Amino acid sequence: MDELERLEQAVARLELALEKLIFQAKAQPVKSGPTKSSNGIPVCSLHGKAMFTSKFKEGQYYCGFKLDDGTYCKQKA
């Protein structure tokens, strides 16, 4: 086996490993905690919507949307 062939096989293996990694990254479940959007406002991980600022506690955010069972979402950030 010459050097070039060995290199090509190594590259092919790397590509395969990379593809697997990308697939795993995509397949990962949504994080349970709230995530911050680009403008600094946390986004509810359940609803995917920007949270509201709390009137009671400065710097705290809450989700004002309802869950499937009719109760309010308890996500806070």
**Contact residues: Zn ion, CB under 5 A:** 44, 46-47, 63, 65, 73, 75
Nearer Cβ to Zn ion, position 24 or 39?
39
Provide, rounded to whole angstroms, the least separation between the CB of residue 45 and Zn ion.
Answer: 8
- Write the Ramachandran bin of 32: left for phi over 0, alpha for psi from -120 to 50, otherwise beta: alpha
Provide, rounded to whole angstroms, the least separation between the CB of residue 63 and Zn ion.
Answer: 3
Residue 45, both tokens? 């991980």
For residue 25, CA distances in Å to 19, 48, 55, 76 come to 10, 19, 37, 26
Provide, rounded to whole angstroms, the least separation between the CB of residue 48 and Zn ion.
Answer: 8
Handedness of CA 40, 41, 43, 48 (dihedral sign): negative
Nearer Cβ to Zn ion, position 3 or 49?
49
Nearer Cβ to Zn ion, position 61 or 75?
75
